[in-house]
Structure formats: structure tokens, C-alpha cells
Amino acid sequence: MVDAVIEFPSGQVRQKLASAADKRLSGAFTQLRTGWRHDGGLTADRRDEALDHLARVIVKYQAALVEAVSRDFGHRSPHETRLADIQASLSAIRYARKHLSRWIRPQRVGVALPFLPGRARVEMVPLGVVGIISPWNYPIQLALVPLTAAIAAGNRVLLKPSELTPHTAALLERLLAEVFDPTEVAVVTGGVDMAQAVSHLPLDHLLFTGSTSVGRQVMRAASDALVPVTLELGGKSPAIIGPGFDMALAAERIAIGKLFNAGQTCIAPDYALVPRGREAEFIDHFEKATSRLYPRLGDNADYSAIVTDKHYERLLGLIDDARRRGANARFINPAGEALEPAKRKLAPTLLWQVPEGSAVLTQEIFGPVLPILSYLTVEEAVALVNSRPRPLALYLFSRRKADVDFILGRTRAGGVTLNDTLLHAAQDGLPFGGVGESGMGSYHGEAGFRTFSQARPLFRASRFSPARLVRPPYGERIDRMLRWLIGR
Ligand code: NAD
């Protein structure tokens, strides 16, 4: 039966299909493909109904989801899970349902005289069977927001959640099975092998969220079958405090953005750029703000743990490397607690006078560690940002229009929030994505709908249009028409 055959362009993966995991994957993919072949995309009514159902199921499982994420992290702030995973997903669903009928509406396009009274329009049609590979740091949002966009666009979806958050992945699988038929949405859980196999599938689109290095591998794998990719990657997002800006306000907002989810946020400020001579002021205000936000760390439900021992060790390694090279460090532990490494709560750490070449200045940090760099002029600040790959986010604290125009005019980042952090990503109406090494393509709101749609041109020919006369044998009649069209 044709539907049961999956043509993997890479011979390597075809061999691996013998394993149980690959059989699961091929079974899931085949069901989605069969659904597509028999019934095409999801109807507009089904999309709306399914998204409504999905929202209700998320609310129903809210407590279990909060619990699952926390088990996966060791500890994850329940409020942060509700804000950034549950509410963010619900908000995306509600936004999509509210705007879907407008997004779907075909756009009429003008028709040139010779083709009248033919009609032309652009229709937004589903792509087919699309894949989503999601990371662990916001394991619900980063699976369900892309899924919402893909369903809003009428696709069938194969989702591979991160292996680092297995409890959440298992719950997502159960939850989605309540809403969707296996011909509409399938969740495949498992390790990196499974994710690699997904990236080799002949999908109609693949949205990957994760690190830049894995993003490269995913794009390479997808290129075998010419699968178009959206890559939502990471990077080093700067927070620039403009000359003359209120330091207390900037430091507090950077602390809030940096310490949310203990810094394990793709758009967390990665490093601060402070006017030279004001570093001590920044350190002082950052420490005070952190102490107000998190008076305790170890037993504070608001302060999240680092997801795994490996990531915890990696962050300690970044701090050690910088200090060995001569950087100064401030560990902010307001209650002076003894933090057990086994619980993976890492004290917010500021680093300054960090020598260039330190790992903390070259690798994405993804934790509560903030190096502070300084600049003398806005030109120097811009040069520092531009000496690194294009970041996913850029934060600028400034009320001086000339500085804002100068810095935004000469830098590129996936998204920008002025005078705060993270908030551009919370706007359903704004596209979200990276540029350069921080990614390609975007989603959220209408951008997500478009990412998972084909803008298909449709021309309806008319029996009466003059264009029907254009056919061989060419002769005087066509010459007259061409003279009229081209001009003499
Ligand atoms: P990761 O790249 O290690 O893994 C992400 C996903 O890719 C996981 O589901 C994993 O199973 C899968 N994967 C791993 N190796 C693979 C391979 N060779 N082929 C195909 N898939 C593979 O990233 P992570 O540690 O889970 O997440 C952290 C990274 O993600 C950070 O760099 C962060 O900035 C980035 N991120 C980006 C966004 C964004 O929206 N741009 C959001 C969250 C996280």
C-alpha cells in the first residue's frame, strides 16, 4: 500500500527504521499522510473547533502541566509556567481564533486588460503534513504556539517535544490525543535519535526551535528532501543601557528579564552594555533589584532550578572560566543560603572586567549569569554588538531619539524591546523569529499562519477574454495585439 511507504532521502535513516522508535515514527507519519491524501487540510470549522477544544483541555490540565514542568526542571516556578507556558499558549490560541476568518479570506488581485473578465486571487492554503521540533525551556509554549499556527493554517502536525522534559512531553501527548485524531496531530516522544529521524522526514515544512548548532544540522537534514524550514534559534542578546538612562530602572528590568526561568529563556538578556564609568552603579542596582525579586533562592518557589546537572555544570564552567581569566564576580545570594548543587538553584551572578575570549562572551549563556561590558560612545556599543552574530533580541534603554535611531539603524536583531526586556515576544500581533545565526522565518499571530500556509495564486480564465486569441498560427491579428501591448 503506497501510504505505508515513507521515502527517506537519507539512506542512513532508512536503515534505522528497523528500531521500535522509528516504527512508531513511520506509523505516526503514515497516518498523517494518509489523512492528508484522503481529506486534504483541516476545514476552517474544524480548525476553529479543534483550537477551542485545545484551549479547554489546556485549562483542564493546568495543574498537571504545572506539576509536570516542575518535575522536569527539578523545580520550575508555578507562576512562570502559568504565565509563559499556559497563558502564552492560550493567548496564541485565542488570537488565532479571533483573526482566522480574516487570515483565511482570499485576496482579490487586479487582472490586466487582455485577461479580463478573468479573475485572480491569492488563497492561503495548508502546506500538508508539517513537523515541529521543540526545546525544553518553555516546553508547553514552544510546542503549542507553533502547533496553533500550523492548525490555524489547516495542516496536519507531527510534534517532537524535547527529551529533557519527558513528563511534560508525555502529558502533551495525552492532552493532544484528547483533541486531535491521529490523522490530524501525532506526538512522537524519544531522544535525539527520534528528533534526527523527524528532521529527515519528507515533511511539507519543519519548524525547529533550539540551539544554533543543532539548527544547522536540522537544516542540513531537511535539505535532502528540500523541506522548507523555519529555524527559531538562540544567541547572545544584548541589553544596552543608553547614555543618561535611569540606571535603577534599567537594572531592575534587566534583572526581571534575566532571572525569569533562571535565565533559561532564548530572549533573555545575555550581556549588559553599560556606559563606561557606570558599571558599579549598575551592579549595585542589579543586586538590590534581585534581592527584592528573590529575597531567598533555595526554598523560593518563584526561583526556578537549572534544568539538568549538565546545564548546571556548564554554567559553573562559564563562571570559572571567566574568573580564571581575571574577571570579577558577584554572587547574589540575598539570604546567604547554602545552595545544594543537587537542587540546581544557581545564585544570580554578575561578571565584569571579563577578558575577550572568555567562553561567557562567546557562548549563549542560558542561565542566571550576566557579564557586564562597557562602552564610551554609542558607536562603540554598536561595534560591540556587531562583533557578534546577529542576536535573537536586542534591548535598548534610552529616551534619546537620536541614540535609538542610531543604534537600531546600525544593528540587526530578531526582535527589539525598548526600555524593558522580553515583552516584544509577548505580543501576539508581532512576528517572532531570529535573523542570521539566531534563526530564519518567524511565527506568532498572522506570521505563524503565513509560515504554515502557501499563498497560492489562482486565476480563473474567462471564455471571453482577448487572451484566448493568443495561439498559433500567429499572424496579423497577434501582431496587431502585440503592437498595441508593447507600443511601437
Ligand atoms: P537543542 O538544540 O539541544 O534541542 C532542541 C530540540 O532539538 C530537542 O527537541 C532535541 O530533541 C532536538 N535535537 C537535538 N539534536 C538534534 C539533531 N541532531 N537533529 C534534530 N533534532 C535534534 O536546544 P535545547 O537545549 O533544547 O534548547 C535551548 C536552545 O534553544 C537555546 O539555544 C535557545 O536559545 C534556543 N531556543 C530558541 C527559541 C526561539 O524561539 N528562538 C526558544 C527557546 C529556545
Query: How many CA atoms lie less than 13 Å away from 432 in the CB half-sphere?
Result: 25
Residue 289 has pLDDT above 70, yes or no: yes
Q: Which CATH number goes with the domain that contains 419?
A: 3.40.309.10
User: Has residue 267 been placed in a domain?
Assistant: yes
Per-residue pLDDT at 2: 33
Per-residue pLDDT at 114: 86
Tell me the CA–centroid distance for residue 137 and ligand 1, in Å: 9
Q: What pLDDT band is residue 197 in, cutting at 50, 70 and 90? A: very high
Per-residue pLDDT at 426: 97
| More confident call, 78 vs 22 | 78
Q: Are residues 160 and 262 in the same domain?
A: no
Closest atom of ligand 1 relative to the 138 alpha carbon: 43
The domain boundary residue, chosen from 397, 430, 463 = 430
Rounded Cα distance between 363 and 397, Å, is 24
Q: What pLDDT band is residue 1 in, cutting at 50, 70 and 90? A: very low
Q: What pLDDT band is residue 8 in, cutting at 50, 70 and 90? A: low
Q: Which of 160, 162, 189, 440 to mutate to test the pocket of ligand 1 (most atoms within 8 A of CB)?
A: 162
Closest atom of ligand 1 relative to the 164 alpha carbon: 26
Contact criterion met (CB below 8 Å) for 137 and 234: no
User: Has residue 397 been placed in a domain?
Assistant: yes
Q: Are residues 219 and 156 in the same domain?
A: yes
Residue 400 has pLDDT above 50, yes or no: yes
Rounded Cα distance between 77 and 62, Å, is 14
Tell me the CA–centroid distance for residue 362 and ligand 1, in Å: 18
Mean pLDDT calculated for residue range 132-148 = 98
Q: Which of 140, 211, 213 to mutate to test the pocket of ligand 1 (most atoms within 8 A of CB)?
A: 211
Pocket of ligand 1 (CB under 6 A): 133-137, 142, 160, 162-163, 192, 195-196, 199, 209-211, 214, 217-218, 232-234, 266, 364, 366, 392, 434, 439
Mean pLDDT calculated for residue range 32-57 = 98
**Total number of residues shown for the chain:** 488
Residue 15 has pLDDT above 50, yes or no: no
From atom 14 of ligand 1, which residue's Cα is the shortest distance away?
A: 192
Contact criterion met (CB below 8 Å) for 242 and 400: yes
Mean pLDDT calculated for residue range 188-201 = 96
Per-residue pLDDT at 18: 55
Mean pLDDT calculated for residue range 177-189 = 98
Query: Looking at 80, 184, 266, 279, which residue is catalytic?
Result: 266
Mean pLDDT calculated for residue range 368-380 = 98
Q: What pLDDT band is residue 76 in, cutting at 50, 70 and 90? A: very high
Residue 11 has pLDDT above 80, yes or no: no
User: Has residue 420 been placed in a domain?
Assistant: yes
| pTM for the whole structure | 0.94
Residue 16 has pLDDT above 70, yes or no: no
Q: Which CATH number goes with the domain that contains 117?
A: 3.40.605.10
From atom 15 of ligand 1, which residue's Cα is the shortest distance away?
A: 192
Q: Smallest Cα–Cα separation from 206: which of 258, 160, 252?
A: 160
Q: Are residues 36 and 66 in the same domain?
A: yes
Beta bridge partners of 205: 130
Report the 10 Å Cβ neighbour count for 43: 11
Range of the domain at 250: 238-430
Mean pLDDT calculated for residue range 244-270 = 98
User: Has residue 477 been placed in a domain?
Assistant: no
Mean pLDDT calculated for residue range 374-378 = 98
Q: Are residues 114 and 256 in the same domain?
A: no
Mean pLDDT calculated for residue range 45-50 = 98
Q: Are residues 89 and 188 in the same domain?
A: yes
Q: Are residues 301 and 449 in the same domain?
A: no
Average pLDDT value over all residues in the chain:
95
User: Has residue 461 been placed in a domain?
Assistant: no
| Count of domains forming the chain | 2
Tell me the CA–centroid distance for residue 132 and ligand 1, in Å: 11
Rounded Cα distance between 433 and 233, Å, is 8
Tell me the CA–centroid distance for residue 49 and ligand 1, in Å: 31
Active site residue 67: no
Q: Are residues 277 and 371 in the same domain?
A: yes
Closest atom of ligand 1 relative to the 213 alpha carbon: 2
Tell me the CA–centroid distance for residue 208 and ligand 1, in Å: 7
User: Has residue 265 been placed in a domain?
Assistant: yes
Q: Are residues 276 and 299 in the same domain?
A: yes
From atom 26 of ligand 1, which residue's Cα is the shortest distance away?
A: 135
Tell me the CA–centroid distance for residue 81 and ligand 1, in Å: 19
From atom 42 of ligand 1, which residue's Cα is the shortest distance away?
A: 266
User: Has residue 26 been placed in a domain?
Assistant: yes
With a CB cutoff of 8 Å and minimum separation 6, the contacts of 309 are: 344
Active site residue 266: yes
User: Has residue 363 been placed in a domain?
Assistant: yes
Q: Are residues 447 and 366 in the same domain?
A: no
226-235 tens-digit pLDDT: 999 999 999 9
Q: b/e for 179-215, b at 16 or more Cβ within 10 A? A: bbebbbbbbbbbeeebbbbbbbbbbbbbbbbbbbebb
Closest atom of ligand 1 relative to the 392 alpha carbon: 41
Q: Which of 266, 430, 437 to mutate to test the pocket of ligand 1 (most atoms within 8 A of CB)?
A: 266
In the chain, pLDDT over 70 holds for what percent of residues? 96
Q: Which of 144, 207, 214 to mutate to test the pocket of ligand 1 (most atoms within 8 A of CB)?
A: 214
Per-residue pLDDT at 368: 98
Query: Looking at 80, 184, 232, 364, which residue is catalytic?
Result: 232
Tell me the CA–centroid distance for residue 215 and ligand 1, in Å: 7
Give the DSSP letter string of 358-410.
Answer: -HHHHS---SSEEEEEEESSHHHHHHHHHTSPPPSEEEEE---HHHHHHHHHH
Q: Are residues 210 and 279 in the same domain?
A: no
Q: Are residues 65 and 189 in the same domain?
A: yes
Q: Are residues 415 and 342 in the same domain?
A: yes
Tell me the CA–centroid distance for residue 198 and ligand 1, in Å: 14
Closest atom of ligand 1 relative to the 434 alpha carbon: 41
Contact criterion met (CB below 8 Å) for 148 and 96: yes
- Amino acid identity, residue 2? V
Phi, psi dihedrals of residue 38, rounded to the nearest 5°: -80, -40
